[in-house]
């Protein structure tokens, strides 16, 4: 009894504490009013800082061509909304203060309310700020079409058009799954298929187009990986081959995909690698190309095959003539040309190679000799290739100089379809005697670049993925391999299965070179007997094993050894290669490399991308070494002293993204490392890539004087730019990133580097006030790109100190960022000489809070070549161009236009102005609040991006220069709060090139395209705009987008996408004339427009039947339009043949669909006119023939509609989402879903199906089921029901707010395909699954339990062993009764973390301890976060009232927290 009394006393005291606490909190709002307001201000400032940080990352991601994550976009929107609420609060609080004599007479109620609102807002701001941490803000969007196929040079010949049209037709035939295109090598199959892919993308036939190249020796695992990558499917390291195949197969079923597999030679078991769409292929297709028809038909089961033949004689002649140009019209060449074309036999690749070989040959005799060679060339049989192809390519080869021939043949040794970096090629060729009188690394590089370009001009090489790469067509490669094999003894072994070549030791002994990329090193001979061998290229197949120890003993003449992506220890026989001159170990995992020190004649050593941690001291013995490449050796930490200084002949040293731990004199470190000063001993060094964190340890200036190219980082905070093999290794020959302060400013080495560099990224530190004169007195004569950033002291970029000079004469790009003390770009501009800034193309200025203007009027003529201007986040900037009051326009180098008061930015193409709150105009000598006045002209401007220009009221002057803005293509205007109009009448005639228009957050704009007040006849002749995309967001006073008068001036038939959001006063969107012209429209979205009554406005006086046809619309969404009554108020019908996705939500006044009975009574029985309320859609069987996805609010009027409508008229539906009303539960007749046989995803909210009808067969294909807010639901399925068994193919099941649901799965059901299970706020649940059901969940990967706070005690009540072999993501949140997951033994081998929390929506992931299972983790969580039972009782007690009321009404209306306070 005493114990109970004591317990009750504790409970009573706690309840009193909570009660007092609640009262105290209310009093706190009154007492701490000012503190709450101040705290809110502080939090809003912090939130703004966080927003700016995220925004900068977003802008950087956008510049990197990334798509911003939805959660980031959502967070920024939340910030915008809460900031507006806070600003409104501050305004209201200020008004109250004014009314109450500066706040001295607040009544208590007002003070309490303001204090409470401030506290609530502060908590909301804190919450949003806390969610503003993102690992990444964006991601790269896959390129449409996957691996792009070049269609450069494609000609739309009649012979190709028939095939093109046939394939395009087959792509739309639901009965055809696989299509083949066959023909000999060199006929242009790949280019034709590339053109088909582009057309399929343009026509939106598929959701994705993926292209892979198979080739003669396919690497199927790599092909599988490439397809997965294009589909954004990530394999885990632990996934087995079977699992990867299964995952890929499942992924391919998710979308409508065109998979192009190019160049198939033999039968491939696609299904074994998961490359299969299955029976339910959703319209996905395989498009295959091969040289062999039987491979496509017999082996690959192509249902329709198209054969590509040769060109007709006229087509061949046209193609040849186009390449050779004017020579084709010369009578001296024409007869020979006819014979040459004939010899090429209509083969495109033969024609292009021969024509390119002859296009610069001006003598007829040369053409005649070429004809002789073609006729007499010894044809050879190459599988799948016409003899004439060989002859044509051989002829082009014969026209090459000897060095180009050698390079051409060598390029054929690389893997088929490989993108070859020129930087890798010339490094390899350093060791071979291909070139005469070429000795230095610089000379080799230049020679290789020159020859590659000449081979591209001859069409013997193709462009790669960037300026520093190239590829070789597979047909040309086949010919080159044949020539190399027969004439030059270069042996290319395509695979280790190429047994004839590999086993023929005679061939090997006579070979000067071998290339083998598909080999297991364990299959190599123990000793290779090739005494003539000069080079060998090897690629390890699957990191199999080490090269045999004695392998190189019989190859003592070897000069070049290349190993790609191998994992090995180097064989001892490597030391026998005394003649080796170039050793390339590219992306290899290496053990000890000290043996390389014995290769005394080595000229080039390339270890790029390897995992070495220490450069052995033996490397210092390589005294003939001219090139050392250590780039991307990210683990390299040790270079012993004297190793580098001993390499006396070194010409090029690459250490990009590699070693930077240089020894500093006087500093003690764990390792004894090389000093930078060792480079002073390398007198021949011409190329250097290096990071020196400490400017104190720079080498001597003499070293820098001799460098021809360099990339040097000086300072601790710099990072190397991400490097890509597809980019030229030296886009700028002299590049430097420098942290500079006065201590090192006078260093001779720094001065020399600055004077010579072309690309400079500068972070000025202490004591630097300007760039010119202090950093460089000569005006940076060689500089092309300049970044200046993060300086608190820089006042001017240029301060000439009275000395006249030319500055930045070659500068093309200038970026100034975060220079908070910057006052002007040029201070002493009277001394600026002609030629300064003369080459500047792009200017970026951001976060320069002291900068009032960018250009002074007197120096504007220096910037005449500007093509792009970006000005962002400059708080006090008032104008882009300003006239300084001390100076008039008296400068000689100003253009005539400026003298006549017009500034013409004639070269400007793009203008971006963001977050300039005090900007009064682009050029403003008065406070006009007008962006572009009559004194500025932009005759070539194509893009304008404007955001956060709060002072502006108008964009354009009414007398803008007549040639200005006529080429404008893109206009984006965001958050210009006081802007009153966008396009006044005088601007309408300039819109004919406008393609993309976006407007958001402009509070006073009433009309987008203004006509009223203008004389239409005087504006312009009627024309059409190119406008394709129109987006309008949050324009609260917008009344019209178009008016019907506009049709007399402009038409808008090119519109593709229209999006309208939160335009609260807009009553209709389109005039009738505009709506009827929308033949190209593909997407229409209207959201949250509170007064919108109709989509198309009624044209006065029109009583005839109107027919709307939207042939290309595939997406239509109408949401949150509470006043919407109809699509069009007059008599009409509509057709939507391409519509695939339809959303109608929260449009409560409109009836969605009805049968089209084509009767429109508009008079009553007395003959009086009555208004017609038509439904949105009067449907017939062909109204929506292709609708796949439907989101729909369900109401009583829907029940009055015959249920068969949906089964018949929406029979192709795959995704269906139905929503009821929050305040009323509605039954859906089960007959509604009976005909939906293709349904794959079903979502139901606040509805329930009646029990009539047998719809089990309807859900056989269903893989996703979502059930939300179904308070009457007690069972998902009855035991052993037919309906229940129909759901057993589910992959995703999500159930939320179903308060009476007791058990999720009956024991009779099995869910072997279920991947994701999410259960939220189902407070009546006791457990989720029975033992028999649990056994079936072998594919479950994600399990999320949230807010089941009343009863759910465990996932499974039994004590059997539970196995979840695939579960990798488990979250349990706000489930206070769940103290254990299951009483039995748990097996979850993939689960490493678990999310547990009692408060957060998205709980922090907790690592499972060693030997800990989920039960143990849950127990540990409760022990670490023990909550007293009294507090829990109090919380549940305060929650009980609203929840109980909700259950009485049949609606689950539980609240998570105490409302109010």
pLDDT tens by residue, 17-34: 444 444 445 555 666 777
* Number of Cβ atoms within 10 Å of the Cβ of 1015: 8
| Residue 471: pLDDT band with limits 50, 70, 90 | confident
Could you tell me whether strands 910-914 and 943-947 are parallel, antiparallel, or unpaired per DSSP bridges?
Answer: parallel
Instruction: Rank 921-935, 1088-1102, 1179-1193, 1264-1278 by mean pLDDT and report only the highest.
Output: 1088-1102
Task: State how far the alpha carbon of 1455 is from the alpha carbons of 272, 1299, 1348, 1458, in Å.
Answer: 51, 12, 12, 7
For position 3, what pLDDT does the model report?
41
For position 1346, what pLDDT does the model report?
82
Q: Which residues pair with 1320 in a beta bridge?
A: 1296, 1346
pLDDT tops 70 at residue 1022: no
**Higher per-residue confidence, 936 vs 991:** 936
**Phi, psi dihedrals of residue 611, rounded to the nearest 5°:** -100, 20
User: Please, where are the H alpha helices in 573-682?
Assistant: none
* Residue in the structure block whose two tokens are 């020159």: 450
For position 1457, what pLDDT does the model report?
32
Q: pTM, whole model, 2 decimals?
A: 0.74
For position 835, what pLDDT does the model report?
85
Extract the runs of DSSP E, i.e. beta strands, from 379-439.
420-421
Side-chain-side CA neighbours of residue 1009 (13 Å): 28
pLDDT tens by residue, 641-689: 999 999 999 999 999 999 988 988 766 666 788 999 899 999 999 999 9
3-state secondary structure of 257: strand
- Residues 6 or more apart whose CB falls under 8 angstroms from that of 1189 comprise 1140, 1141, 1142, 1213, 1214, 1215, 1216
- Residues 6 or more apart whose CB falls under 8 angstroms from that of 363 comprise none
- Residues 6 or more apart whose CB falls under 8 angstroms from that of 263 comprise 190, 213, 214, 215, 216, 289, 290, 291, 474
**Phi, psi dihedrals of residue 983, rounded to the nearest 5°:** -120, 100
Computed from CA positions of residues 263, 265, 267, 268, in that sequence, does the dihedral angle turn out positive or negative? negative
For position 37, what pLDDT does the model report?
83
3-state secondary structure of 1250: coil
pLDDT tens by residue, 872-899: 999 999 999 988 755 433 333 334 344 4
3-state secondary structure of 1045: helix
Instruction: Rank 162-176, 1009-1023, 1155-1169 by mean pLDDT and report only the highest.
Output: 162-176
What is the rounded average pLDDT of the residues 412-428? Answer: 88
Of 625, 875, 1213, nearest in space to 48 by CA: 875
What is the rounded average pLDDT of the residues 1112-1135? Answer: 89
3-state secondary structure of 567: strand
pLDDT tops 80 at residue 411: yes
Radius of gyration of the chain measured on its C-alpha atoms = 37
For position 148, what pLDDT does the model report?
58
Phi/psi zone of residue 618: left (φ > 0), alpha (ψ -120 to 50 degrees), beta? alpha
Q: How far apart are the first and last CA of the chain?
A: 36
For position 297, what pLDDT does the model report?
86
| Of 354-368, 731-745, 757-771, 1002-1016, the least confident | 1002-1016
| Residue 1008: pLDDT band with limits 50, 70, 90 | confident
> Among residues of the chain, what percentage have pLDDT more than 70?
80
For position 1444, what pLDDT does the model report?
35
Average pLDDT, the chain: 79
pLDDT tops 90 at residue 630: yes
Q: Tell me how far apart the alpha carbons of residues 117 and 1229 are, in angstroms, rounded to a whole number.
A: 46
| Residue 705: pLDDT band with limits 50, 70, 90 | confident
pLDDT tens by residue, 1312-1324: 888 899 888 888 7
| Residue 1433: pLDDT band with limits 50, 70, 90 | very low
| Of 102-116, 565-579, 587-601, 767-781, the least confident | 102-116
Q: Which two tokens stand for residue 1061?
A: 């959001």
Total length of the chain: 1461
pLDDT tens by residue, 1264-1284: 888 888 877 777 776 666 666
What is the rounded average pLDDT of the residues 902-915? Answer: 90
For position 501, what pLDDT does the model report?
53
* Number of Cβ atoms within 10 Å of the Cβ of 1107: 11
* Number of Cβ atoms within 10 Å of the Cβ of 597: 17
Q: Which two tokens stand for residue 52?
A: 């700016």
CA angle 196, 197, 203 (to 5 degrees): 85
* Number of Cβ atoms within 10 Å of the Cβ of 896: 8
For position 1102, what pLDDT does the model report?
66
Task: State how far the alpha carbon of 364 is from the alpha carbons of 335, 354, 367, 888, 944, in Å.
Answer: 10, 15, 5, 67, 55
In terms of Cβ atoms closer than 10 Å to its own Cβ (0-12, 13-18, 19+), residue 1016 is middle
**Higher per-residue confidence, 1031 vs 29:** 1031
């Amino acid at each position: 009894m005493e114990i109970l009394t004591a317990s009750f006393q504790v409970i009573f005291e706690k309840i009193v504490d909570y009660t007092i606490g609640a009262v105290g909190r209310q009093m706190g709002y009154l007492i701490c009013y000012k503190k709450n307001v101040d705290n809110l201000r502080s939090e809003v400032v912090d939130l703004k800082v966080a927003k700016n940080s995220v925004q900068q990352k977003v802008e950087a991601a956008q510049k990197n061509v990334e798509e911003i994550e939805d959660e980031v976009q959502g967070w920024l929107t939340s910030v915008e909304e809460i900031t507006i609420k806070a600003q409104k609060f501050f305004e209201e609080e200020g008004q109250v203060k004014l009314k109450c004599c500066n706040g001295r007479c607040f009544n208590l109620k007002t003070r309490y309310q303001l204090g409470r609102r401030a506290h609530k807002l502060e908590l909301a701001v804190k919450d949003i700020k806390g969610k503003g941490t993102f690992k990444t803000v964006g991601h790269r969007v896959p390129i449409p079409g996957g691996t792009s196929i070049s269609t450069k040079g494609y000609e739309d010949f009649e012979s190709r058009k028939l095939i093109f049209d046939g394939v395009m037709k087959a792509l739309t035939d639901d009965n055809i799954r696989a299509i083949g295109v066959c023909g000999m090598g060199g006929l242009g199959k790949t280019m034709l298929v590339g053109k088909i892919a582009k057309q399929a993308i343009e026509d939106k036939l598929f959701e994705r187009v993926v292209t892979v190249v198979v080739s003669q020796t396919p690497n199927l695992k790599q092909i599988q990986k490439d397809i997965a990558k294009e589909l954004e499917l990530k394999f885990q390291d632990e996934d087995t081959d079977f699992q990867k195949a299964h995952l890929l197969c499942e992924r391919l079923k998710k979308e409508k995909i065109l998979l192009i597999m190019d160049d198939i030679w033999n039968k491939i078991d696609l299904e074994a690698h998961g490359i299969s769409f299955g029976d339910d292929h959703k319209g996905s297709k395989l498009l295959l190309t091969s040289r062999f028809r039987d491979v496509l038909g017999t082996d690959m089961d192509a249902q329709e095959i198209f054969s590509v033949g040769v060109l007709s004689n006229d087509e061949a002649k046209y193609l040849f003539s186009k390449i050779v140009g004017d020579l084709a019209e010369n009578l001296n060449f024409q007869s020979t040309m006819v014979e040459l074309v004939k010899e090429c036999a209509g083969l495109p690749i033969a024609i292009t190679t021969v024509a390119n070989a002859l296009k610069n040959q001006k003598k007829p005799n040369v053409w005649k000799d070429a004809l002789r060679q073609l006729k007499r060339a010894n044809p050879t049989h190459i599988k799948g290739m016409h003899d004439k192809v060989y002859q044509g390519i051989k002829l082009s080869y014969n026209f090459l100089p000897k060095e180009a021939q050698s390079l051409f043949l060598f390029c054929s040794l690389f893997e088929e379809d490989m993108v070859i970096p020129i930087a890798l090629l010339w490094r390899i060729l350093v060791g071979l005697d291909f070139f005469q009188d070429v000795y230095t690394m610089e000379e080799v590089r230049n020679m290789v670049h020159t020859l590659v370009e000449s081979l591209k001009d001859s069409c013997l090489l193709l462009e790669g993925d960037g300026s520093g790469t190239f590829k070789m067509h597979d047909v040309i490669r086949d010919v080159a391999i044949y020539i190399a094999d027969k004439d030059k003894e270069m042996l290319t072994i395509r695979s280790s299965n190429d047994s004839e070549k590999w086993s023929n030791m005679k061939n090997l002994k006579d070979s000067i070179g071998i290339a083998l990329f598909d080999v297991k090193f364990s299959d190599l001979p123990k000793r290779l007997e090739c005494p003539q061998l000069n080079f060998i290229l090897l690629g390890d197949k699957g990191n199999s094993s080490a090269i045999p120890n004695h392998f190189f003993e019989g190859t003592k003449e070897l000069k070049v050894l290349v190993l790609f992506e191998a994992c090995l220890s180097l064989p001892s026989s490597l030391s026998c290669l005394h003649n080796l001159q170039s050793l390339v170990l590219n992306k290899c995992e290496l053990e000890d490399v000290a043996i390389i020190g014995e290769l005394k004649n080595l000229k080039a050593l390339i270890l790029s991308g390897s995992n070495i941690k220490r450069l052995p001291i033996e490397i210092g013995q390589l005294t003939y070494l001219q090139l050392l490449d250590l780039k991307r050796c990210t683990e390299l930490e040790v270079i012993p002293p004297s190793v580098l200084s001993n390499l006396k002949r070194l010409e090029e040293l690459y250490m990009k993204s590699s070693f930077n731990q240089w020894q500093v004199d006087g500093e003690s470190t764990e390792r004894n490392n090389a000093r930078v000063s060792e480079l002073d001993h390398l007198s021949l060094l011409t190329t250097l890539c290096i990071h020196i964190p400490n400017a104190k340890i720079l080498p001597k200036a003499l070293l820098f004087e001799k460098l021809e190219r360099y990339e040097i980082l000086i300072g601790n905070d710099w990072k190397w730019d991400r490097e890509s093999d597809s980019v030229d290794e030296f886009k700028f020959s002299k590049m430097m990133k420098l942290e500079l302060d006065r201590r090192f400013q006078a260093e001779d080495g720094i001065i020399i580097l600055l004077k010579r560099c072309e690309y400079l990224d500068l972070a000025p530190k202490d004591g630097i006030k300007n760039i010119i004169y202090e950093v460089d007195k000569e005006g940076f004569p060689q500089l092309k790109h300049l970044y200046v950033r993060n300086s608190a002291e820089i006042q001017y970029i240029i301060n000439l100190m009275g000395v006249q000079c030319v500055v930045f004469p070659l500068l093309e790009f200038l970026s100034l960022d975060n220079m908070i003390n910057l006052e002007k770009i040029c201070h002493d501009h009277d001394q600026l000489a002609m030629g300064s800034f003369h080459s500047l193309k792009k200017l970026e200025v951001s976060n320069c809070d002291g900068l009032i203007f960018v250009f002074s009027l007197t120096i504007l003529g220096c910037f005449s070549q500007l093509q792009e201007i970006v000005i962002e986040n400059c708080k006090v900037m008032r104008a882009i161009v300003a006239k300084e009051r001390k100076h008039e326009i008296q400068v000689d180098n100003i253009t005539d236009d400026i003298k006549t008061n017009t500034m013409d930015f004639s070269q400007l193409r793009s203008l971006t102005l963001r977050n300039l709150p005090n900007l009064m105009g682009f050029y403003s000598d008065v406070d006009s609040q007008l962006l572009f006045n009559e004194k500025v002209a932009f005759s070539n401007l194509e893009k304008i991006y404007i955001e956060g220009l709060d002072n502006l009221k108008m964009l354009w002057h009414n007398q803008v220069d007549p040639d200005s803005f006529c080429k404008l293509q893109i206009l984006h205007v965001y958050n210009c709060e006081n802007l009153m109009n966008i396009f006044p009448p005088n601007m309408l005639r300039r819109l004919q090139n406008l393609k993309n228009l976006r407007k958001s957050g402009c509070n006073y704009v009433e009309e987008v395209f203004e006509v009223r007040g203008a004389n239409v006849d005087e504006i312009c002749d009627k024309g059409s705009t190119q406008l394709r995309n129109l987006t309008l967001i949050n324009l609260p006073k917008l009344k019209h987008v178009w008016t019907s008068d506009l049709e007399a001036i402009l038409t808008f038939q090119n519109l593709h996408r229209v999006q309208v959001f939160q335009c609260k006063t807009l009553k209709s969107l389109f005039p009738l004339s505009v709506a009827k012209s929308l033949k190209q429209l593909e997407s229409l979205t209207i959201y949250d427009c509170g007064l919108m009554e109709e989509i198309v406005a009624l044209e006065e006086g029109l009583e005839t039947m109107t027919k709307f046809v939207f042939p290309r619309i595939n997406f239509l969404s109408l949401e949150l339009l509470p006043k919407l009554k109809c699509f069009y108020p007059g008599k009409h019908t509509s057709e939507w043949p391409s519509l695939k996705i339809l959303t109608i939500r929260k449009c409560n006044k409109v009836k969605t669909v009805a049968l089209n009975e084509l009767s429109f009574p508009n008079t009553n029985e007395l003959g009086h006119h009555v208004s017609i309320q038509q439904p949105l859609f009067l449907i017939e069987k062909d109204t929506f023939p292709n609708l796949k996805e439907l989101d729909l609010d369900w109401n009583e009027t829907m029940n009055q509609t015959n249920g068969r409508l949906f089964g018949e008229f929406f029979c192709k539906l795959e995704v269906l989402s139905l929503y009821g009303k929050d305040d009323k539960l509605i039954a859906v007749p089960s007959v509604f879903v009976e005909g939906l046989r293709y349904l794959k995803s079903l979502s139901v909210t606040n509805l329930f199906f009646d029990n009539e009808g047998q719809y089990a067969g309807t859900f056989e294909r269903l893989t996703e089921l979502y059930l939300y807010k179904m308070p009457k639901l007690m069972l998902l399925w009855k035991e052993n029901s037919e309906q229940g068994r129909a759901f057993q193919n589910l992959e995703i099941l999500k159930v939320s707010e179903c308060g009476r649901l007791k058990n999720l799965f009956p024991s009779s059901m099995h869910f072997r395909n279920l991947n994701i299970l999410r259960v939220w706020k189902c407070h009546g649940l006791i457990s989720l699954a029975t033992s028999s059901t649990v056994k079936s969940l072998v594919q479950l990967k994600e399990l999320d339990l949230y807010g089941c706070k009343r009863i759910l005690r465990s996932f499974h009540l039994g004590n059997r062993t539970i196995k979840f072999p695939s579960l990798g993501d488990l979250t349990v949140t706000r489930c206070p009764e769940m103290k254990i997951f299951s009483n039995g033994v748990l097996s979850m081998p993939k689960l490493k973390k678990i999310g547990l929390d009692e408060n957060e929506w998205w709980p922090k992931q907790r690592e499972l301890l060693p030997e800990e299972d989920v039960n143990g983790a849950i127990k540990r969580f409760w022990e670490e976060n023990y909550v007293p039972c009294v507090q829990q009782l109090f919380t549940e007690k305060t929650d009980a009232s609203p929840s109980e009321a909700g259950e009485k009404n049949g609606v689950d209306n539980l609240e998570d927290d105490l409302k109010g306070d």
